[in-house]
A and B are shown apart, each in its own frame.
Chain A
Amino acid sequence: MSIAWYLAVSAIVFCTGAFGVMTRRNPLVVLLCLELMLNGANLSLIAFSRMWGNGDGQILAIIVMTVAACEVCIGLGMIVAIHRRRLPIDVDELRELQG
């Protein structure tokens, strides 16, 4: 299979994730879609690494995974804190930055 197929899949995954971020209301699901986007990027990284034959892309993919893990940790912690404050878990309601 030529790389192009993998890249196409990666693009589809990425854009699906973007659509999900823009559309869903539950912040948990928004974070999940964010993970989708990261995974799409990961896929293209790995694909290019295969194409060039050196391991840079894979290393970067590992780092991206690490970053995703950290981000999930913080994001979920925030959602838990919001839930504890009895605020609604809805991105449309959490808009103190309005103004």
Chain B
Amino acid sequence: MSTTTFGWLVLAFPLLGTIVIGACFEKLPGRSAGWIGTAAIGLAFVAALATLISLQGHASDHRQLSSSLWNYASTAGIDAQMSILVDPLSVFMILVVTGISTTIHLYSVAYMDKDRGFARYFAYLNFFVFSMLLLVLAGNFLLLIVGWAFVGAASYLLISFWYRRTTATTAGIKAFVINVVGDVGLVLGTYFLFKHTGTLDFLEAFKAAPNVFSSGEADVTAGCLLLLVGAFAKSAQIPLHTWLPDAMEGPTPVSALIHAATMVTAGVYLIARMHPFFELAPAAQDTGAVIGCATLVIAATIALAQTDIKRVIAYSTMSQIGYMIMGVSIGAYAAGMFHLMTHAFFKALLFMGAGSIIGAMGGEQSLDKMKGFKRAMPFTFACFVIGGLALSGIPPFSGFFSKDEILLVTGERGGWHWALYVLGYAGAFMTAIYTFRMIFRAFYGDPVQEARELEGGHLHHAAEPTNPATGEVEDTDVGFPGPTHAIAERALPMRVAMSILAIGAIGAGLVQIPEVDDVITKFLEPSFAGSALYTVHTRNGLLWFGLILGTVLGLSGIAIAYRIWVKQPSIAVTARARLEPLYTLFVNKWYFDELIDTLVVKPAAAAGRFASTTFERVFVDGAIVGGATSLVRAGSASVRAIQTGLLRYYAALVVLGVAALGLYFLLQT
């Protein structure tokens, strides 16, 4: 079987899974929907592996293979095929996506066990994986946009999965609306590029790019900036990031999959894929780098002040994606993709651990209420620590190598990129602090009541199920979370999934140890063959400096966190009191929500109100509709006046008519 056939299989399995689960969900016995879903993604992963092996069988300059099934949309000027592009970049992405998705599906089988929407969940999750794979494997702009939109839709469906919770549905709508803004940017950017290249196909467009655009030209810069808008919306960068923390309303595995490992990385993938255009638009590249760096820092500061455990991890995701965006914007494609892979491992692991501890708390998500779970949940604690170490960039964990490689390339660019370098390391420092703040607060200290119950062997259940965000009492019927809570210590599928990810978090960095091996760089090279920025001369001095600096900052961050939250919690209190305005800024998420509300939401709502009350009432109803009807009414009223019923009136009209007729005939002669 050829490489591209495997590529089509990768797409086919999740699609089949969705259709089967969606169509037969009532007839599927027990929990088989979950196993079908997991099997579908597992098969997709196997197919992805097959694709990889098959691809590597080709010569290295023949590794960009495109295959088309049928003519999708062919009209004047546009020729879009139903085609996929199998090349190292897309194979890399599908491996990450299917691999992480399989573990998450496995985890979900246990996590969502008693939920009434079990089958619906897996249908949506398979649909999501299919959409993400479509996005990544797309061979032309049209399919990319289709996959992009599907992913947004799947994200909405999954965020508002517990649809009878108003907080969840509001969050889903928010995510969808912001994603649509990104979609608009993506489509308009595509237009700008298409205007000159004349083709929607990737390979042809990339080939044509240097010929039709000169560097820094207006159209290509505009197109790339609009593509960046799309990337920022999907990857939750400033200022289109406000949806990501609210998206934590969805079930934890959803957060793990969509908002850590796959969907939010679509923006990174986009920039990497469009590198021929980005390299012709340095302004867009600089914009991406700056925004990425800004997001990195701001998200880290916000995470320092959050108390909801899932939101801490969410802001951490935002921050790490900032790293990746910064990386691919300045041309460190391999480093950015490498960080994407390692981040997927440890972030999904952290989310899974968070799900486990939330289960132990009976649905409560606030760090203020969690303490001392170390003895009660050793496995979860171990996973958290592994994930936290990887996130903080401690060697030899995976996060260390990937993050430092990005920062290395940033430093090597020189010039004003040194500012990004410094800020990147500052962000790494803060990352270590907030990560271990979270771990120490949840696992150290005197065990809370739920932890003590668990040590005694009893899983705590809340007396009344409540919404973790607002605290209002809820149901456990369809549309709300099920009555049981699963923890890793008791559910085998969860443990298996988390173990796989833990191994990945520990060992994934070993594929790209600088100066030792650079598997990723070599693997991805055929995709970036035409790039001027890909192969870069590495300065050893900066490399070692960066590595040591990263380690030091990570360890000192952990130490500070240990000092504050394990040894002497009063430091935190006094620090907060002294830095009160800064703390307020961080806790309120830098007031971005309020800013967007004032700038965008309120004017839009006011415009809508004006349209519906004034404009609609006065202009449309009054003038247009009312005018037309009153015109007709006046006309018919005047005609009706003739119908007097008076005989003589009619007779007079008859005589008048005869006279007129006679006059006419007289004049004729």
Chain A positions within 8 Å of B, measured between CB atoms, are 18, 21-25, 27, 30, 91-92, 94-99
B640–A18 CB distance below 8 A: no
| Nearest 6 interchain pairs by C-beta | A95-B645, A98-B645, A91-B647, A97-B645, A22-B652, A21-B651
Interchain Cβ contacts under 8 Å between A and B, 5 examples: A21-B651, A21-B655, A22-B651, A92-B648, A97-B645
Q: For A95, what are the chain B residues with a Cβ–Cβ distance below 8 Å?
A: 644-647
Indicate with 1 or 0, residue by residue over B637-651, a CB within 8 angstroms of chain A CB atoms: 000100111111001
Q: How far is the CA of A99 from the CA of B640 in the complex (A)?
A: 6
**Secondary structure of the A contact surface, majority rule:** loop
Q: How far is the CA of A94 from the CA of B650 in the complex (A)?
A: 13
B651–A97 CB distance below 8 A: no
A98–B648 CB distance below 8 A: no
Contact of A18 among B643, B644, B645, B655 (CB under 8 A): B655
Q: Give the number of chain B interface residues (Cβ < 8 Å).
A: 10
Q: Which residue of B lies closest to A99 (CB)?
A: B643
Q: For A99, what are the chain B residues with a Cβ–Cβ distance below 8 Å?
A: 640, 643, 645
Q: How far is the CA of A22 from the CA of B645 in the complex (A)?
A: 14
Q: Which residue of B lies closest to A21 (CB)?
A: B651
B648–A21 CB distance below 8 A: yes
Given A18-B655, A22-B652, verify A30-B647 contact (CB < 8 Å): yes
Extra A-B contacts (14), CB below 8 Å, given A22-B652, A30-B651, A92-B648: A18-B655, A21-B648, A21-B655, A24-B648, A25-B648, A27-B647, A30-B648, A92-B646, A95-B645, A95-B647, A97-B643, A97-B645, A98-B643, A99-B640
User: B435 CB to closest chain A CB, in angstroms?
Assistant: 86
Contact of B644 among A22, A30, A98 (CB under 8 A): A98
Q: How far is the CA of A91 from the CA of B643 in the complex (A)?
A: 15
Chain B positions within 8 Å of A, measured between CB atoms, are 640, 643-648, 651-652, 655
User: A62 CB to closest chain B CB, in angstroms?
Assistant: 24
Q: How far is the CA of A25 from the CA of B651 in the complex (A)?
A: 12
Given A21-B651, A22-B651, verify A91-B640 contact (CB < 8 Å): no
Q: How far is the CA of A92 from the CA of B648 in the complex (A)?
A: 8
Q: For A97, what are the chain B residues with a Cβ–Cβ distance below 8 Å?
A: 643, 645
B640–A23 CB distance below 8 A: no
B652–A91 CB distance below 8 A: no
B645–A96 CB distance below 8 A: yes
Given A22-B652, A22-B655, verify A94-B643 contact (CB < 8 Å): no
User: A33 CB to closest chain B CB, in angstroms?
Assistant: 9
Given A18-B655, A22-B655, verify A91-B648 contact (CB < 8 Å): yes
Q: For B646, what are the chain A residues with a Cβ–Cβ distance below 8 Å?
A: 91-92, 95, 98
Q: How far is the CA of A92 from the CA of B643 in the complex (A)?
A: 13
Q: Which residue of B lies closest to A97 (CB)?
A: B645
Q: For B651, what are the chain A residues with a Cβ–Cβ distance below 8 Å?
A: 18, 21-22, 30
Given A18-B655, A22-B652, verify A94-B647 contact (CB < 8 Å): yes
A23–B648 CB distance below 8 A: yes
User: A17 CB to closest chain B CB, in angstroms?
Assistant: 10
Q: How far is the CA of A20 from the CA of B97 in the complex (A)?
A: 100
Q: Which residue of B lies closest to A95 (CB)?
A: B645
Q: How far is the CA of A74 from the CA of B310 in the complex (A)?
A: 97
Q: For A96, what are the chain B residues with a Cβ–Cβ distance below 8 Å?
A: 645
Q: Which residue of B lies closest to A19 (CB)?
A: B655
Q: How far is the CA of A24 from the CA of B651 in the complex (A)?
A: 11
User: A30 CB to closest chain B CB, in angstroms?
Assistant: 7
Q: How far is the CA of A39 from the CA of B646 in the complex (A)?
A: 25
User: A9 CB to closest chain B CB, in angstroms?
Assistant: 18
The winner among A18, A25, A30 for most chain B CB atoms within 10 A is: A18
Q: How far is the CA of A21 from the CA of B437 in the complex (A)?
A: 108
A22–B648 CB distance below 8 A: yes
The winner among A21, A22, A23 for most chain B CB atoms within 10 A is: A22
User: B648 CB to closest chain A CB, in angstroms?
Assistant: 5
Q: How far is the CA of A94 from the CA of B648 in the complex (A)?
A: 11
Q: How far is the CA of A23 from the CA of B646 in the complex (A)?
A: 12
Q: For B647, what are the chain A residues with a Cβ–Cβ distance below 8 Å?
A: 27, 30, 91, 94-95
Q: For B643, what are the chain A residues with a Cβ–Cβ distance below 8 Å?
A: 97-99
Q: For A92, what are the chain B residues with a Cβ–Cβ distance below 8 Å?
A: 646, 648
User: B659 CB to closest chain A CB, in angstroms?
Assistant: 9
Q: How far is the CA of A18 from the CA of B657 in the complex (A)?
A: 12
Q: For B644, what are the chain A residues with a Cβ–Cβ distance below 8 Å?
A: 95, 98
Q: How far is the CA of A18 from the CA of B650 in the complex (A)?
A: 12
Q: For A91, what are the chain B residues with a Cβ–Cβ distance below 8 Å?
A: 646-648
User: A26 CB to closest chain B CB, in angstroms?
Assistant: 11
Q: Which residue of A lies closest to B653 (CB)?
A: A22
User: B207 CB to closest chain A CB, in angstroms?
Assistant: 79
Q: How far is the CA of A62 from the CA of B126 in the complex (A)?
A: 98
Q: How far is the CA of A92 from the CA of B652 in the complex (A)?
A: 14
Q: For B648, what are the chain A residues with a Cβ–Cβ distance below 8 Å?
A: 21-25, 30, 91-92
Q: For A27, what are the chain B residues with a Cβ–Cβ distance below 8 Å?
A: 647
Q: Which residue of A lies closest to B649 (CB)?
A: A22
User: A40 CB to closest chain B CB, in angstroms?
Assistant: 13
Q: How far is the CA of A97 from the CA of B642 in the complex (A)?
A: 11
Q: For B655, what are the chain A residues with a Cβ–Cβ distance below 8 Å?
A: 18, 21-22
User: A48 CB to closest chain B CB, in angstroms?
Assistant: 17
Q: For A94, what are the chain B residues with a Cβ–Cβ distance below 8 Å?
A: 647
Q: Which residue of A lies closest to B652 (CB)?
A: A22
Q: How far is the CA of A96 from the CA of B652 in the complex (A)?
A: 18
Q: For A98, what are the chain B residues with a Cβ–Cβ distance below 8 Å?
A: 643-646
Q: How far is the CA of A21 from the CA of B643 in the complex (A)?
A: 18
Q: How far is the CA of A95 from the CA of B648 in the complex (A)?
A: 11
Q: How far is the CA of A15 from the CA of B407 in the complex (A)?
A: 112
Q: How far is the CA of A30 from the CA of B648 in the complex (A)?
A: 9
Q: How far is the CA of A25 from the CA of B647 in the complex (A)?
A: 9
Q: How far is the CA of A6 from the CA of B644 in the complex (A)?
A: 38
Q: Which residue of A lies closest to B656 (CB)?
A: A22
Q: How far is the CA of A97 from the CA of B646 in the complex (A)?
A: 8
Q: How far is the CA of A25 from the CA of B645 in the complex (A)?
A: 14
Q: How far is the CA of A96 from the CA of B651 in the complex (A)?
A: 16
User: A95 CB to closest chain B CB, in angstroms?
Assistant: 3
Q: How far is the CA of A22 from the CA of B654 in the complex (A)?
A: 10
Q: For A23, what are the chain B residues with a Cβ–Cβ distance below 8 Å?
A: 648
Q: How far is the CA of A89 from the CA of B644 in the complex (A)?
A: 18
Q: How far is the CA of A91 from the CA of B647 in the complex (A)?
A: 6
Q: How far is the CA of A99 from the CA of B648 in the complex (A)?
A: 16
Q: How far is the CA of A58 from the CA of B655 in the complex (A)?
A: 26
Q: For A24, what are the chain B residues with a Cβ–Cβ distance below 8 Å?
A: 648
User: A35 CB to closest chain B CB, in angstroms?
Assistant: 14
User: B661 CB to closest chain A CB, in angstroms?
Assistant: 14
